[in-house]
Structure 1
Amino acid sequence: MKNANSNTKLILLHPYIQKQGSSNRLWLLAFISFFTLAFLATLIYTRESSSAITAKTSIIASSSSSSSSSPVSGLPVNVINTLLYYASKSNDTYHMPYSDLKPISDVLRKCSSPCNFLVFGLTHETLLWKALNPYGRTVFIDENRYYAAYFEELHPEIDAYDVQYTTKRSEMKDLIASAKEQVTNECRPVQNLLFSECKLGLNDLPNHVYEVDWDVILVDGPRGDWPDAPGRMSAIFTAGVLARSKKGGNPKTHVFVHDFSGKVEKVCGNEFLCRENLVEENGNLGHYVLERMDASSVQYWYFSQSFKYSTSKSAWSSFPSTLAASLPTTHSAVRNPAKRAGFSNRVSADNTPSTPVSSKQS
């Protein structure tokens, strides 16, 4: 007899399987929710950061635009005074005294930023001039390319260029007479010297030097302490042309001539920068303020209203006797840029090393 229950099969349902599937779905939902919240939080934070950066950039841009139109030097007055004090107390024989440094510093401090400052001569004060014009352009012109390269190697922040002077101090009278003869042609007071053949004009400077509207120009070079030295005739003439030929910016340019007690400096300053433009003189520093002129202008003499230029070299004889009598009979020593900067092995005009020439000429 067969057991009636022997073929009966029982199916048992385990509740564990159902619970496991439900648990997995909960974990998946939690995982997706977490990443969704993280994504939203990141998106919101990124937008807030972007808005903050944009606002900050706008503030900086507005402050920069406002500062560009205001006369600031970028250095506190007490820092400027400290720099001037220590520069004037240097043990270097050829450093500028405080009375010479202060007028130049005052003009740089009041110059609208960015200020364009051109300096003829690498001197003991080179680093000072660069520091006093931190947000502007300061360019130095020196007669010796080896010394200019050496100085730039020591101080990479300095922007220095060399120029070849073809003048001699002993030829000053002839050069001035030649400039008078060519006042309506090659030696015009308003022109681009890059294309000029004037004997006193510097036409081999970097192209951008002629394109910049210079606010301040300092003539403190080249050398001029012996008859065959270049003298500062070309530097002074070029400074006058650059100042009068400005196309934009401030129409006025401050031109300083150092060693103003020297014959070359005083005569050429009054000839090509105009005596009427001399606003200050302290014995060793002449301060001229020149204004932009029309391209058709052909006069730059301080006695232009009563004296007409001559077409002969005898024009020098017409130079006012009152000024000639006031000039010293001996030329004051022009400082040696190499000796002031601690570089005694200067290179002579023929590119051979030579010992620096004495600062006094007997």
Structure 2
Amino acid sequence: MKKGFKYVFMTLLVVALMLGSFLLGNKMAITTGDKVILNKSDFNIYSKTNQMKAVIDKYFLFDVDERKLEDGVYKGLFKGLNDPYSEYLTKEEFDSFKQSTSGEYKGIGIFITVTEDNLIQVVSPIKDSPAFKAGIKPDDIIYSVNGKVYPGDKLNEATAIMKGKDGDEVKLVIKRKNSTGAYDSIDMDLKVEKIKLLTVESKVIDDLGYLHISQFGEHTYKEFTENYEELKSQNVKGIIIDLRNNPGGLKDSCVKIADYLLPEGPIVKTVDKNKKEEVDMSDAKEENIPMVVLINGGSASASEILSGAIKDYKKATIVGENSYGKGIVQTIAPAKSFGIDDNGAIKLTVQEYFTPKDNKIHEIGVKPDIEVKLPDDIINFGPDFIDTDTQLQKAIEILK
């Protein structure tokens, strides 16, 4: 047992014996003066954990990695919330997260989440990444990595392998739902590469501007405004903003882009567990070039904040398929910022968000003004695949 781990429980037991207790409804609290240190429910958790650790120490056959065991305790605490977006991150995992929002990291190039039935699901592949070129699609299930099956609660282990080192080969088995509702099994061999993530790309299609935002990172607002202004300087007659397969990212980045595009008024309202509301506002400056926004089932979170606000203001026609439906906000911060002596981080769902017209997004999504589905056999989309990209074709038709 780790010295610090044992010390915590010994201290708690001494406090319980020395200070006594009183009742708070059906809960017992250990106190010093007017300050509640620990209620009965919390004390039971710590006490049982200590007892179970003693059983492991006494009977478990194999050597115990104390660090992994300790991390597992913290991860299990958040797992009990039954929220796939709340978790404890080790220092290594937190470093990896920061790297992914900074614009460059190693991997196969996919954004993933955990489903309610504990499966690892693809939110979207990153354009031109190994996963994108191999044909991985949103909603694909990652069944196994290098021959080992990984359920959702092993997400971080699977991710560590898929990030690997440059040139590492990763063998995936993908489960993809077919037209009958059954799952087909697909084998894929991919190589780990350095993924440089320019989050905004632009192009001129005839006399129209096209902007694709792959995710909302630290530099996305700057990239977006630079590309947007460059398109304006070429006298384009309309702008297509492509949010397809954009899994979200940093809320602040998305709100800045919404402020840049929209007239004065609310952009997004967030509400916490105490019903406290916060509203992000747009100033009076706005853009007035005709616009179409493209979304699909891989458009999630911050993408839905932006597309939902644009739809409410009728600033653009929304084209494509219903978005993912992730209308909740997470905060992620070092554990030390909460006064916890730990080098990891806490990621926790703290708010739900609503569009300017108070429309709920979570588990509902943003419905397009004009629904257009890509054919089932089409993997790639965008200007390079305009002959088969029916959603982009529709956007061009509307602006023309």
Q: TM-score, normalised by structure 1?
A: 0.24
Answer with 1 or 2: which has the greater Rg. 1
The structure with more strand, counted as a fraction of residues? 2
- Which protein, 1 or 2, shows the higher relative CO under an 8 Å CA cutoff with sep ≥ 6? 1
Q: TM-score, normalised by structure 2?
A: 0.22
The structure with more helix, counted as a fraction of residues? 1
